[in-house]
Amino acid sequence: MPSPPAGNEISTILRHDSKQTSYKIALLRSINDVVLNFPDLADTERDVAVPLLLLADFWIAYYWSFAHPDQPIYQGPRATLDGSPRNDMAFRPELRALRYTFHRQHGGSTASDGFFLINQLRMPRKRKTLSSELLESYRAARTKVARTIRMPIRYAGPGEWQVFPKPTRRRELSDVVAVPGTSRNQSCLVVRHDLWRSFQNLSLWVEALCIHEWSLFTESVDQPDENYERGDIFSVLTSRPDNRVSLTWERNQIDILLMEGECFICPWTGTEIRENDCYNLDHLLPVSVYPMNEMWNLAPADPRVNKQKKRDRIPSQNALQRARPRLARTYEKYQEIESLNEALRNDVSLRFSSLPSESETFSQEVAEAATSLIDRIGTYRNLVRFDP
C-alpha cells in the first residue's frame, strides 16, 4: 500500500518494524483514534500530550478478541523460558482476566465488547454501575498495557526515541495542550503538532494501513489450534458495538421534561416532540462510526428520519448548520434537570478542550463543538452523508 508524501514519518513507524509483535501497529492505530476523537486540539497549534492510559484503553479494545481464554489468537512467536512458553503479549494474563470478569458479569461475547467497555468506563455515571471487581481487573490490565506501550514508542523509528520523545508526566511538560481529562501525574506521549495534523489529514489511510498490516501479520503467526486468514482478523479489528447500550436513564430524564410540558425539536427535521409523541434518542454521530454515548451526542429525534434517512450516515454540512440552534435548545433543556445537567457538563469536559463549563453561551458553544466534531470525522473518514 503506497504512502502519500505527507505520511512518510507515519509510515516510518511500520517500515522499521521487526514484525515480531503487533505493538507498533497498535500504537499507530491508537494515536490515530485519539486524534479522531479530539479533532479540536489541532486548532491550538501546539504539541499534544496524550496519556499512556488513554492509549491503553484503545489497546484493550483492539486486543480484546485476541485474549479469548479458550481460543487465543497469538500476536507473535512464544519464546521459551525454563522449558515453559512465555506470553506473546506482555499483558495477555491481565487482559484475559478482564475479559473473563466482564463476560461473567455482563454476558455476551463479541469482538466489540472491549470498545463497549472502555466507552462505559469513560463516563462517570456509567462507571458507577460497574462492580469493584471489574474495575480492579480493568485497572490491572490498563496499567500493564500502558507499561508495554513504552516499548513501541521508544523504537518507533530507525533508532531509539526517533519519532517520539520519552513519555513524561503532564506536570513536567510546558507549552503543550493535553487531551481533556488528563491529570498532572499521568505519563504522556507528546505528539508534535505537525504530526497530529498529518494523522488528521490521513486518518482514513492510517486506519486502512493499520488494519491491512495487522491482518497480514496475524495471518503469518503460527497458532496452536488453527491458523487464521486475514479476512478473519479484518472482521475482528473492524468490529464496533451495536446499539445495545442501555440509555434508559437518559431517556427517563427526557421523558420527565416532556411530562413537565417541555418541547424538544428534532435536530434534523425541525419537528416538535412533545409528551406522548414517538421519538428516537438519536446518536448524532452514529454508534457504528464511533461509540460515543455521551450526553452531547444524544438528542430526541423524529424516528422516521432517524430510521429511514440517517441510519449510519453522517449529516451533510447544511444539515449540521441547520441543526445547531436546535441542538443548543436541546442542551438548554438538559440543564433544567440537575442530574442531566451534570451528565452533560461532565461529558463535554471529557471531549472538548476549549469549552468553559460556566460560559453564559454554554449550550450554543456545545452545539457548535458537537456539529464541528461530527463534520470533521465525516471529512477525515470520507463517510456517506445525508440531508433530510
Range with the poorest average pLDDT among 6-20, 32-46, 53-67: 6-20
| Distance separating alpha carbons of residues 150 and 167, to the nearest angstrom | 8
For 253-276, the pLDDT digits (tens) are 999 999 999 999 999 999 999 999
pTM attached to this predicted model: 0.91
Per-residue model confidence (pLDDT) at position 11: 78
Percent of residues, the chain, with pLDDT higher than 90: 71
What one-character DSSP code corresponds to residue 45?
A: -
For 311-351, the pLDDT digits (tens) are 778 999 999 999 999 999 999 999 999 999 999 999 999 99
Percent of residues, the chain, with pLDDT higher than 70: 94
Per-residue model confidence (pLDDT) at position 82: 66
Per-residue pLDDT at 47 exceeds 90:
yes
Per-residue pLDDT at 18 exceeds 70:
no
For 223-247, the pLDDT digits (tens) are 877 778 889 999 999 988 765 567 8
* Domains of the chain by residue range: 5-237, 248-386
Backbone angles phi, psi at 361, to 5 degrees: -110, 35
Per-residue pLDDT at 3 exceeds 50:
no
Per-residue pLDDT at 165 exceeds 70:
yes
Of 6, 32, 91, 378, the closest CA to residue 214 belongs to: 32
Work out the mean pLDDT of the chain and round it to a whole number.
90
Q: Using a CB cutoff of 8 Å and minimum separation of 24, what contacts does 384-387 make?
A: 384/313, 384/314, 385/313, 385/314, 385/315, 385/316, 385/317, 385/319, 386/309, 386/310, 386/311, 386/313, 386/314, 386/315, 386/316, 386/319, 387/315, 387/316, 387/318, 387/319
Of 349, 90, 66, the closest CA to residue 223 belongs to: 66
Average pLDDT over residues 142-146: 98
CB 354 within 8 A of CB 40: yes
Classify 280 as helix, strand or coil.
strand
Per-residue pLDDT at 14 exceeds 70:
yes
Per-residue model confidence (pLDDT) at position 168: 97
Per-residue model confidence (pLDDT) at position 245: 63
Of the pLDDT bands very low, low, confident and very high (cuts 50, 70, 90), residue 70 is: confident
